[in-house]
């Protein structure tokens, strides 16, 4: 499941927040400092994460360590989202 | 290194002379207009601009417009009137509520508010707020604060769609005012004054084709605290000099730092000056009782706002140059 995060997030950012198709997205580059997304983009990103993964992101979690690079977002999601396979195994 | 206390001290006499000379050159010679229209909000910026125009063109060649609407404070109208009386300039009252109702400004805004606070109706009051940049490293995400007539307060994080819809609707206010300023300027063959100070101009705190539109902007190079110094030098009414900056746009009282800037204007001025002049965050922090980390956040916020509002300063972009036409002097 986690391996899908990077692909889904990159696709969302590319399709919804990056209007310039020539921009190259890097997993470790700051999305805000490189101008890929602005404060409104951060709002959109948070909504996407909450709706897609069924999580709630508190205000104190909206920090660069969690959201400023694709790599950070994936790491953050790994702490917020319970893998379905694990849950299934526990139930068994 | 401690910053000097007179970092932004202005020679107000010299500044007044320089600006009034520039006003006469720009408006009378370059624009070939015979006077100026100034929208009066009762705030420090429009008051200083009106006073400078009066010095430059004479009181007979300045028209002050008073443009209240449902959500603007009564104090704005009172202080605008008081300023005009002090300067001896003619005023025209142009309440803009009917125009805004015609454009469905309030209705569009309220629909957007209800999309996130379903109980909200026209009897409630509201504003948009940002958290302080100094409190944490978290992104500054807009919240909507609404208050019922019974005093119940609701605060929700704003989705971007609702935020954009609320701002787009309220921007009618600045654009209606500017439309009226140009109406009067056209009929009098006057130029329209813009009133941004340096903080507002640099950080894009204006509405394109609203308060951002003007034929000249005489205090765009002055930090806000320098505008206050000019106000004192020009002997403007004390109530105007002591009035706290407000957006005067939403029905709940809203400070400018709550909606846009990171810090109160006195501190924002110092940070912007320091950032513009290569001073370190550590130097600024000591003088403002902040940490270096907090000042670094303010510096980043300054750069972020410059990036996101850059387009507001641009003239319409052409596919190819038209070399015969100049868009600046």
Evaluate whether B299 touches B203 at the Cβ level (below 8 Å): no
Nearest to B159 among A47, A64, A65 (CB): A47
Nearest to B139 among A35, A39, A47 (CB): A39
- Tokens for B295, please give them: 């000042």
Count each helix (H run) and each strand (E run) in chain A, helices first. 5, 0
Q: What backbone torsions phi and psi does residue B201 show, to the nearest 5 degrees?
A: -65, -50
Q: Answer whether A38 sits within 8 Å of B304, measured CB to CB.
A: yes
Number of other CB atoms surrounding residue B164 within 10 Å? 14
Sheet holding B90-93, edge to edge: B90-93, B62-66, B36-40, B191-192
Q: Which residue of B has its CA nearest to A41?
A: B160
Give the closest-approach CA distance of B159 to chain A in angstroms: 6
- Tokens for B137, please give them: 């490293």
Evaluate whether B198 touches B54 at the Cβ level (below 8 Å): no
Q: Answer whether A43 sits within 8 Å of B160, measured CB to CB.
A: yes
Q: Which residue of A has its CA nearest to B136?
A: A60
Evaluate whether B203 touches B312 at the Cβ level (below 8 Å): no
Q: How far apart are CA B190 and CA B182, in angstroms?
A: 9
Q: Answer whether B304 sits within 8 Å of A40, measured CB to CB.
A: no
Task: For CA atoms B87, B91, B95, B100, give the dihedral sign.
Answer: negative
Nearest to A42 among B137, B141, B300 (CB): B141
Q: Which residue of B has its CA nearest to A35?
A: B307
Question: What is this structure's pTM?
Answer: 0.91
Q: Which residue of A has its CA nearest to B135?
A: A60
Catalogue the long-range contacts made by B255-261 (C-beta closer than 8 Å, 24 or more residues apart). B256/B205, B257/B132, B258/B127, B258/B129, B258/B130, B259/B127, B259/B128, B259/B129, B259/B130, B260/B130, B260/B203, B260/B205, B261/B199, B261/B203, B261/B205
Q: Answer whether A59 sits within 8 Å of B138, measured CB to CB.
A: yes
Of the candidates B189, B241, B203, the one whose C-alpha atom is nearest the C-alpha of residue B33 is B189
Q: What percent of chain B has pLDDT over 90?
A: 83
Output the tens digit of pLDDT for each of chain B's 329 residues. 678 878 999 999 999 999 999 999 999 999 999 999 999 999 999 999 999 999 999 999 999 999 999 999 999 999 999 999 999 999 999 999 999 999 999 999 999 999 999 999 999 999 999 888 887 888 888 999 999 999 999 999 999 999 999 999 999 999 999 999 999 999 999 999 999 999 999 999 999 999 999 999 999 999 999 999 999 999 999 999 999 888 788 889 888 777 788 788 999 999 999 999 999 999 999 888 899 999 999 998 899 899 999 999 999 999 999 999 988 88
Classify the complex by whether its ipTM is higher than 0.95, answering yes or no. Answer: no
Domains of chain A: 2-86 (1.10.1200.10)
How many residue pairs bridge chain A and chain B with CB atoms within 8 Å of each other? 47
Burial bucket for residue B81 (CB in 10 Å: 0-12, 13-18, 19+): middle
**Chain B positions with Cβ closer than 8 Å to A:** 131, 136-142, 157-160, 163-164, 300, 304, 307-308
Residues 6+ apart with CB under 8 A from A63: B136, B137, B138, B139
Q: Which residue of B has its CA nearest to A67?
A: B139
| A43 vs B contacts (CB less than 8 Å) | 141-142, 157-160, 163
Q: How far apart are CA B306 and CA A1, in angstroms?
A: 39
Q: How many CA atoms lie within 13 A of B248 on its CB side?
A: 20
Q: How far apart are CA B196 and CA B211, in angstroms?
A: 8
Q: How far apart are CA A70 and CA A29, in angstroms?
A: 8
Query: What is the per-residue pLDDT across B89-138, written as a single tens digit (0 to 9) for each?
Result: 999 999 999 999 999 999 999 999 999 999 999 999 999 998 888 878 88
């Amino acid at each position: 499941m986690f391996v899908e995060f990077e692909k889904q997030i990159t696709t969302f950012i590319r399709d919804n927040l990056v209007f310039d198709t020539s921009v190259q997205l890097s997993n470790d580059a700051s999305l805000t400092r490189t101008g890929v997304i602005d404060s409104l983009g951060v709002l959109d990103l948070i909504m996407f994460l909450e709706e897609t993964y069924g999580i709630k992101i508190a205000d104190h979690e909206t920090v660069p360590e969690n959201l400023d690079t694709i790599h950070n977002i994936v790491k953050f999601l790994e702490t917020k989202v319970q893998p379905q396979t694990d849950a299934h195994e526990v139930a068994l | 290194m401690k910053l000097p206390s007179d970092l932004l001290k202005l020679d107000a006499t010299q500044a007044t002379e320089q600006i009034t000379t520039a006003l006469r050159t720009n408006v009378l010679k370059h624009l070939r207009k015979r006077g100026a229209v100034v929208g009066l909000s009762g705030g420090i910026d429009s008051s200083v601009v009106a006073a400078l125009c009066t010095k430059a063109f004479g009181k007979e060649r300045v028209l002050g417009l008073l443009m209240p609407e449902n959500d603007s404070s009564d104090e704005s109208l009172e202080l605008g009137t008081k300023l005009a009386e002090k300067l001896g300039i003619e005023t025209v009252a142009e309440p803009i509520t009917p125009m805004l109702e015609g454009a469905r400004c309030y209705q569009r805004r309220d629909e957007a508010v209800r999309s996130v606070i379903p109980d909200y109706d026209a009897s409630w009051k509201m504003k948009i707020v940002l958290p302080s940049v100094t409190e944490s490293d978290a992104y500054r995400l807009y919240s909507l604060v609404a208050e019922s007539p019974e005093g119940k307060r609701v605060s929700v994080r704003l989705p971007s769609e609702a935020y954009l819809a609320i701002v787009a609707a309220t921007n009618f206010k600045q654009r209606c005012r500017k439309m009226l300023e140009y109406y009067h300027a056209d009929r009098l063959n006057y130029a329209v004054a813009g009133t941004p100070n340096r903080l507002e101009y640099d950080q894009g705190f204006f509405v394109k084709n609203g308060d951002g539109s003007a034929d000249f902007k005489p205090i765009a190079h002055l930090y806000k605290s320098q505008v206050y110094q000019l106000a004192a030098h020009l002997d403007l009414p004390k109530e105007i000099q002591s009035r706290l900056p407000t957006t005067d746009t939403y029905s709940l009282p809203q400070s400018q730092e709550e909606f846009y800037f990171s810090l109160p204007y006195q501190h924002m001025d110092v940070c912007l000056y320091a950032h513009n002049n290569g001073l370190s965050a550590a130097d600024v922090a000591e003088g403002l009782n902040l940490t270096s980390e907090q000042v670094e956040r303010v510096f980043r916020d300054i750069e972020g706002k410059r990036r996101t509002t850059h387009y507001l300063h641009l003239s319409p972009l052409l596919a190819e140059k038209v070399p015969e036409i100049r868009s600046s002097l």
